[in-house]
Amino acid sequence: MKPLNNELVVYIDGKYYPKSEAKISVFDHGLLYGDGVFEGIREYNGVVFKLKEHIDRLYRSAHVLTLKIPLTKDEMLSAVVETLRKNKLKDSYIRLVVTRGLGDLGLDPRKCPKPSIIIITDTISLHATDAKDNGITTMFSWVRRNPVDATSHEIKSLNYLNSVLAKIEANANGVDEALCLESNGYIAEGVGENVFIVKKGELLTPPTSTGALAGITAEVVTQIAAKLKIKLTVTNLTPFMIFTADEAFFTGTAMEMVPIREVNKRQIGIGKPGPITKKMMTEFQKIIEDPSQGTKV
C-alpha cells in the first residue's frame, strides 16, 4: 500500500501500511488478553541505539511467554532497519511489538497459530523540555508492582496496567511521574524507567528481584559509573532511602536520564540535578551520540 500524504508507514507481518491504515484484528490476543511482548528503542542520528540488546530482550520476554517469534533475530533487525529506511527517519522512537496473534474469544494461546509482528517508527516526547535541567517531581503510587511469581515487569509484556494505574495516580496529583514499590515496600522502578539514587558519592539501584525490568539504559549507566569510578551497589531501597538521598534519577529508553527533584513533596538533595547526576548525563549524551553503540540504518 502506498503511503498517503507522506504518512509514515508501519510494518505488520512483512507488509508496510500507512500509519492511518495500520491495524490489527480485534481477535488478536494482544488486544484481548495483553498477550504479547514489546520493546521501545531509540534511533539517534541514523543509528539504532543498542538494537541488538533490545532484540535479545524481546526474544527473552517471548521465551517466557512461550511465544515463538516467526523471524530470526537477524531478520527482525533487518525489518527494523528497513522500516526506518522507508520512513527516512534519523532520530526516532521505535516500538517493536509481537502479539500472540489471531485467536478465538478464549484465552488459550494454542488457539493462536501465528504471532503478529508490528514495527512502528515515530517520535516520542515524555516530559517537559526543562526536565533534564530542572529535574521532575515524583510520588509513590498506591499500586504495588506484581511479585516476581506473577506478571512481573521483568517480562516486557503487553500487560502494562500496573504502570498505567501508577501513572493515573501521578496525573491526578499533578506530579510528573510515579514511583512503584514492590510487594514488600521496597522501591522497584518508575512506570517505564529504572531508578538510581546517590548517597555520599555512591550510586544505589534496586535489583530486578523487585520485579523491575532489566533496563538497557540502566546497563549503560552501570558502565558509565565504572568508567567514572563511581561505586554502584544493587540493593533493596526503602522509601526512606530515596527521601534522604543526595540525588536521584530515572533511566529509560524513552525518558533517557532524568533527574528526580521531589518524591511525595520531599525535596531530594538540593532540589535540582546534583553533580554526579549531571556528570553522568554528560557521559550518557556522549554514548548515545557514539555510532559504535548501535546499528546503522
Binding residues for ligand PMP (CB under 6 A): 40, 153, 189, 192-194, 212-213, 215-218, 251-253
* Secondary structure of residue 75 in the 3-state scheme: helix
* Secondary structure of residue 205 in the 3-state scheme: strand
- Nearer to ligand PMP by Cβ, of 221 and 245: the residue is 221
Distance (Å, whole) CA 60 – CA 66: 10
- Nearer to ligand PMP by Cβ, of 70 and 207: the residue is 207
- Nearer to ligand PMP by Cβ, of 53 and 262: the residue is 53
Task: Name the minimum Å distance from CB 214 to ligand PMP.
Answer: 8
Q: Which three cell numbers stand for residue 247?
A: 540525588
Q: Name beta bridge partners: 99.
A: 36, 116
Task: Name the minimum Å distance from CB 278 to ligand PMP.
Answer: 20
Task: Name the minimum Å distance from CB 7 to ligand PMP.
Answer: 26
Q: Name beta bridge partners: 204.
A: 197, 233
Task: Name the minimum Å distance from CB 89 to ligand PMP.
Answer: 19
Beta-carbon contacts of residue 10 (< 8 Å; ≥ 6 apart):
16, 17, 18, 19, 22, 83, 118, 119, 120, 121
Query: What single letter denotes the amino acid at residue 106?
Result: G
- Nearer to ligand PMP by Cβ, of 83 and 159: the residue is 159
Residue 15 falls in the annotated catalytic set: no
- Of 15, 73, 88, 156, which residue is the catalytic one? 156
Backbone angles phi, psi at 190, to 5 degrees: -85, -165
Residues that are catalytic = 156
